[in-house]
Structure 1
Amino acid sequence: MAFDAQLRYTAARHDIVDALLRHLLVEWGRRAPADPQAWMDKHAPTMAGRIAEAQAQLIGISEEFVPAVLAEQRTPIAAVGEIDASSLVGVDGQGLPIDSLLATTLPTVERKVQSLVMPDDAAGQAASQSAGWAAGALDLVTKVRTLTSDTSRVATGLHTIARPGVGYTRRLVGASCPRCVVLAGRVYKSSHAFDRHPRCDCEHVPAAMRNLDARTIDPRAHFDSLSEAEQDRIFTKAGARAIREGADISQVVNARRGAGLGPASGQRLTDAEAAEIRNGTGKYATARDTTTEGMTKRGLAHKSMRAKTSKKLPRLMPETIYRVAGDDDGLAREMLQFYGYMGKSSKKVKKVKGPAGGAGGGGGGNRNRGSGGAGDNDDLPIDTHVTAQPGGTPVDPSKVLTRHQLEEFGKVVADDEHRWDEFLVHEKAIAEWLLTRKVPVLSVRTFKEGPRTRQAPDAVTQGVRSSPVEFKKLNPDDGITFNYLSFKANVRLIAQKCRRGVIDARGTDGTISSVSAALKDAIQEHGVNLDEVTVIINGADGLPVAVGWRRGQR
């Protein structure tokens, strides 16, 4: 679960970091300087100063966050002594000065330039320099994101460890790597170091140690929340398939730590070995795509394999198992069990099929990032909830078409390969996103004739309620700025057509804070005619986040 204090903290942290990165990228610019080192000498102090200011802000919100989230859990534990986190300002996670960190972007620029093959003329040199400078900008973003996340985590950790009897769990934020997913299911004492990697955006969830078992995150639930395409990307195709077949997620992820994979090692499984495993001495013959993880005497894989054979065998990786099993799903599951991948809590994933021809954007799974995800009841996905008292003037009910009326008029497209044919480009993009969140929709035909008051919504959902939903896309005049008035106008237009709507603001610079404020005001003005509104924005990690309001949601 995500506490309100945690959500506010995450939103505030992302706003600070996003604003910092915008400043730094403007300072960096798009045009490569003639002398990068001289440029860095001149600009590094200004950039370092901005980063230090952001660090101070992050420390400030961390100081407020820890007591707030503990109070929300009804365990207000006071800190013992004063906490001074000011030493975190001006240095990175290794304690090195920020200007030294900034200087490490220049080798990235040089490596990129050297790796390019360009014409040996002025135009070619300019192109390579420009590409190198762009690579440096990406490196800068990665390092600053890592630095600011470290600052936030250490500051939060200091305020956690200063409180007796308080520990923490790990909260996944945005797209998370497999190792973070596994670690998120564990309980930590306050003195335990927070494991992280570059660009890791995970957060502490402080709580009294006696309550921590109830605060943990189920890694399998997180896996199930991803679309199949995302599962394959994050956990590898073979690993994700194994988990979907019932393999324990920790076993699959941890197995890669002891794996010797890759063409460079010359240790790939041969066709002859695969055949031997299938047909020769059984499925337990020696093979080369293996892992040493779990093979100690106390390891789960060792115990599982020793229970079935006395032979000293290597542990096969999921990739190897699926190559050996081929189309035999029963054999694949049997081998996963033998090699210790199937845990007691294993379960299979129920897939959701997308439109024929791949129109669903790869997908079946639910990509919920928070507690407000959609399910069989076809609620619109909401990751960050906005609380607002609905107000405004009720519209004439006769002007708002129901699903039943739309079907009577023959406007709902059949559930076949043409289900999305009536969508415009931006509407299809919203439908694809909804499908990744397990909310499939059908497009609705427009009224070619008849009174203007009979306006058809863009879609109907296919869940239990199966009700109309209107799609809107924000198109800023300058191509990026989130426009408060334009947003409210779109909410008003949704309310005139149906009681549910999705607004796509991914093309703007809208943040959780700015969108939440605008949505709250819009609901207060037009919410009497609405039940749900979801706004899609880009999160700090570049992945979609759903900010929304739902009638009766607290």
Structure 2
Amino acid sequence: MATTLRSARRNYRLSALIARRAVREARKVRGKGSTAVAGVVVAHQIAQAQTSQTAVAEMLAEQEIDSIADALLNLSSFTTDLPSIDRMIQAVDTDFEFDRMVESIVQDAARAAESVAVAVRPDIYHVRYVNPPCCARCAILAGRVYRWSSGFQRHPGCDCSLVPTTVASSYAQSPDQLVADGLVRGLSKADMKALADGADLNRVVNIRSRKAGLLDAGQALTRGGRPTPAGIYRVASDREQALALLQQYGYILP
């Protein structure tokens, strides 16, 4: 398994820190209403978008991959509008649900910005990077290479991230090595015995988690009447059209 990128670890820690800080600050102003909460959320979404844009450049540089972006991100475009935040707040009942809602939409901004930061760079793809210890569902997808426009499935609470790279890059994670190193949670004794006896990890995991909650990333294809980056990737026939739409809807600067 390739050595973990220092910049990838740093980005993961910083992104998680921003999300936790957003939750903490949102709790403080919750009693003041949706506008106050939205102010906190938006500020942290912009911070996430800036972090993601910087992180993509740093991860490529660490791999000694020379790639110049065709456009810069419009950081404010990755924020959620007040009516949407108000609807989300009204839909939650408990403090736990409120915290998860804030953390989720702040983290979504980071992922969306990272996907766009990859899309604006020609011939750059991304690899699924799991942050071990991880669940078995994510372990079997570790190291998978995705096209610039492809999202990946994630379950609630999934903290997998994307590492920008080229198709020729050797950067990857090995699912089997993750298991061997004891970094995969949720495998039973029977599962481990089957693997030791030579069973295929994908089959062991999939047979018992066929409906385990993995969902398409970027489930929201529109937000506030505007297509999300995931929605744009869904309809774009090629990278050129995607870039045109990303610019049209304000995600990247002209």
State the TM-score bracket (shorter-chain normalisation).
Answer: 0.7 to 0.9
- 8 Å contact from structure 2 (residues 50, 75) kept in 1: no
Name which of 56, 59, 71 aligns with 2:49.
59
- 8 Å contact from structure 1 (residues 143, 199) kept in 2: no
Tell me the SS of whatever aligns to 1:169. Answer: strand
- 8 Å contact from structure 1 (residues 170, 184) kept in 2: yes
Following TM superposition, where does structure 1 have runs of at least 4 consecutive aligned residues deviating by more than 6 angstroms?
none
Q: Indicate whether 1:4 and 2:6 are aligned.
A: yes
- 8 Å contact from structure 1 (residues 149, 200) kept in 2: no
TM-score (norm 2): 0.74
If you compute each CA radius of gyration, which structure gives the higher value, 1 or 2?
1
The superposition leaves residues 357-387 of structure 1 with CA deviations (integer Å, 9 ceiling, x where unpaired) of xxxxxxxxxxxxxxxxxxxxxxxxxxxxxxx
TM-score (norm 1): 0.35
Aligned to 1:448: none
Aligned to 1:200: 158
Structure 1 gap segments, 5+ residues each: 29-38, 107-135, 260-554
Could you tell me which amino acid in structure 2 is paired with residue 161 of structure 1?
A: A
Tell me the SS of whatever aligns to 2:199. Answer: coil
Structure 2 gap segments, 5+ residues each: 212-254
Tell me the SS of whatever aligns to 2:126. Answer: strand
Judging changes above 3 Å, is the alpha-carbon distance between structure 1 residues 173 and 14 closer, same or farther for their aligned structure 2 residues?
A: same
Aligned to 1:215: 171
The superposition leaves residues 325-353 of structure 1 with CA deviations (integer Å, 9 ceiling, x where unpaired) of xxxxxxxxxxxxxxxxxxxxxxxxxxxxx
Judging changes above 3 Å, is the alpha-carbon distance between structure 1 residues 146 and 197 closer, same or farther for their aligned structure 2 residues?
A: farther
Aligned to 2:22: 20
Judging changes above 3 Å, is the alpha-carbon distance between structure 1 residues 175 and 139 closer, same or farther for their aligned structure 2 residues?
A: farther
Aligned to 2:36: 46
Give me the whole-angstrom Cα distance separating, in 2, the residues matched to 1:149 and 1:235: 27
Name which of 55, 80, 86 aligns with 1:90.
80
Percent of aligned positions with the same letter in both sequences?
26
Give me the whole-angstrom Cα distance separating, in 2, the residues matched to 1:99 and 1:164: 38
Q: Indicate whether 1:101 and 2:88 are aligned.
A: yes
- 8 Å contact from structure 1 (residues 171, 217) kept in 2: yes
Offset of residue 245 of structure 1: 3.6
The superposition leaves residues 253-289 of structure 1 with CA deviations (integer Å, 9 ceiling, x where unpaired) of 1223558xxxxxxxxxxxxxxxxxxxxxxxxxxxxxx
Aligned to 1:311: none
Tell me the SS of whatever aligns to 1:97. Answer: helix
Matches within 5 A, 1:321-400: none
Aligned to 1:172: 130
Aligned residue-pair number: 209
Aligned to 2:144: 186
Q: Indicate whether 1:251 and 2:207 are aligned.
A: no
Q: Indicate whether 1:225 and 2:181 are aligned.
A: yes
Give me the whole-angstrom Cα distance separating, in 1, the residues matched to 2:45 and 2:132: 21
Offset of residue 203 of structure 1: 0.8
Tell which has more relative contact order, 1 or 2 (C-alpha 8 A, sep 6+): 2
- 8 Å contact from structure 1 (residues 5, 69) kept in 2: yes
- 8 Å contact from structure 1 (residues 9, 65) kept in 2: yes
Tell me the SS of whatever aligns to 1:184. Answer: coil
Tell me the SS of whatever aligns to 1:206. Answer: strand
Could you tell me which amino acid in structure 1 is paired with residue 166 of structure 2?
A: A
